[in-house]
Amino acid sequence: AFIRKNFSVVLERTVRELNGESCMSLEEAPPTKQQIVCSRSFGEKITEYDSLRQAVCQYAERASEKLRKEHQYCRHISVFIKTSPFAIKGPYYGNVATEKLLTPTQDTRDIIAAATTALERIWRDGHRYAKAGVMLNDFTGSGVSQLQLFDERPPRPHSAELMRVLDGINNSGLGKVWFAGRGMASEWQMKREMLSPAYTTRWSDIPAAKLA
């Protein structure tokens, strides 16, 4: 009840799912533009905080890109982490935390900062984490909001221009620009055998037809 009152029904369902309660059928899907979720199962279990933080930064970055493609701003940034429910060694642990922003944003820097703050609240040593994710919700079509006199996070100057430049570079096919918090290539990357083929962007994934 507290989660639903202070955040949203969607986040309440996520918390209940992490606690092992099935809340959504296989056919059920959230309404359009109600939330954006970026999550992955790790190629190797994560036991170090820095590695999990890098993963969360990458998911926050990707979620931010999707948010801008929808021309939306968000106020709630949630992070969830969990171990494998099928692991033989160690107890199961799953948790979620949400940061509420005073001013809606679509700036990757704001979303990464909120996501890492949320992660710090739920990280626990001694676990082998199998999956993490970032969820954005409470959308609005504008980043304008009534500012408080002593607001600690006023809107960043030239934010929209910077995000357009980043998205333009990353969508050009000429290279990628990312934030340092996500690190370089890591062992936690999603298992390669679980990746979907990239038929439109990777030549090696295009099916070959042979004539007899």
Per-domain boundaries in the chain: 31-145+154-186
Q: Are 67 and 74 in contact (CB under 8 A)?
A: yes
Question: Span 61-88, mean pLDDT?
Answer: 94
What fold does the segment set 31-145+154-186 form as a domain? Dna Ligase; domain 1 (3.30.1490)
Name the pTM for this structure.
Answer: 0.68
d(Cα 126, Cα 173) in Å, to the nearest integer?
A: 41
pLDDT digits (tens, 9 = 90+) for 123-180: 999 999 999 999 999 999 876 555 555 555 566 777 888 888 888 888 776 557 666 6
Dihedral sign (CA 132, 138, 139, 143): negative
* Mean pLDDT, residues 80-86: 95
Q: Is the pLDDT of residue 35 over 60?
A: yes
Q: How many CB atoms lie under 10 A from the CB of residue 103?
A: 18
Please name the amino acid found at residue 112.
Answer: I
Provide the token pair at 193. Answer: 């055998």
Task: Name residue 37's beta-bridge partners.
Answer: 135
Could you count the other beta carbons within 10 Å of the beta carbon of residue 211? 3
**Low-confidence winner among 58-67, 115-124, 170-179 (lowest mean pLDDT):** 170-179
